[in-house]
Amino acid sequence: MKRTIALLATALAVAASSALASAPAQAGDITPTIIGGKPASEPYPFVASLQYTREGVPNSHRCGTTLIDAEWVVTAAHCVTNADSTPMPADMFHIAIGNPDRNLGEHIDVSEVVVHPDYGQGKENNGDIALLKLARAATQRPADIGYVGVGDDVRMVGWGRTVEDDAASLATYLQELDSTLLDNPRCVAGDEWDITVGDICVDIPGGDTGPCYGDSGSPVLAKDHRGRWEILGVVSRGPGTGCLNGPEVYTSTHYYEDWIWSTLS
């Protein structure tokens, strides 16, 4: 997520943009993990861990991503941009996909990073969404882009921290948490992370469960009439400077669907 430009970014926030990215081949920490969730009850084969080399560790988890086409995944823009909102080099990233254990997933290199043109263009956090082209097609079935209404059931998944102030609690096994879609005014806290056009608002059940550092870019899902999971949005940010300070803002994949498909084509 993006709290200081990254709800899911750990505390390496870069000065001006606080988008948690630390230098060229070593971006910063991005963290929300789902606090109060439980181990994934099913495979979610379209969900992937965005990884990079950090402090000599080649498969460090940075953010969540979702396969929406055989060769493309979607994530949050702040996961793959520098402090000035420019894209980081594609060759510093790869994804691990096809296994809820992020250490066991199939590795596929990223060949291109495409950030929405609205991202970083103003004081509002518009366009916190990015598409990553894979170096080769994934074998898993992509998730469709869906849409649900206020009050409908949704499910958050991610590999973020399970304890806010414990960096070692970053999940290895994918976590899930059921929640509800709220009306947008519920994600207005009066700070710079307020919801904007193109976002959706997701409840944090009980006020003490929800995304945290490391969950940025991870999807919120809902089932369609066939019982298949669809992606509704990607974790962007929440109010305040920590986790669980209020409902979470997700960038709506439905809102940006025209841009997504025009980019893929």
160, part of any domain: yes
- Encoded tokens for 115: 């950030």
Q: Is 173 helix (H, G, I), strand (E, B) or coil?
A: strand
- Specify whether the CB–CB gap between 194 and 187 falls below 8 A: yes
The answer for residues whose C-beta is within 8 angstroms of residue 198's C-beta and 6 or more apart is 126, 127, 251, 252, 255, 256
Q: Is 90 helix (H, G, I), strand (E, B) or coil?
A: helix
- Specify whether the CB–CB gap between 138 and 69 falls below 8 A: no
Give the domain extent around 181. Answer: 144-253
50, part of any domain: no
What per-residue confidence (pLDDT) applies to 1?
53
106, part of any domain: no
244, part of any domain: yes
107, part of any domain: no
What per-residue confidence (pLDDT) applies to 18?
28
CA–CA separation, 80 and 240 (whole Å): 22
55, part of any domain: no
Neighbours of 168 (CB within 10 A): 7
Q: Identify which of 45, 113, 121, 41 has the alpha carbon closest to the alpha carbon of residue 77.
A: 113
CATH number at residue 163: 2.40.10.10
What proportions of the chain, in percent to the nearest 5, are helix, strand and coil? 10, 35, 55
14, part of any domain: no
pTM of the model as a whole? 0.88
83, part of any domain: no
What per-residue confidence (pLDDT) applies to 68?
98
CA–CA separation, 97 and 101 (whole Å): 9
Count of domains forming the chain: 1
From first to last of its 265 residues, the chain has per-residue pLDDT tens of 554 334 443 333 322 222 322 222 333 443 334 899 999 999 999 999 999 999 999 999 999 999 999 999 999 999 999 999 999 999 999 999 999 999 999 999 999 999 999 999 876 789 999 999 999 999 999 999 999 999 999 999 999 999 988 888 899 999 999 999 999 999 998 988 999 999 999 999 998 999 999 999 999 999 999 999 999 999 999 998 889 999 999 999 999 999 999 999 9
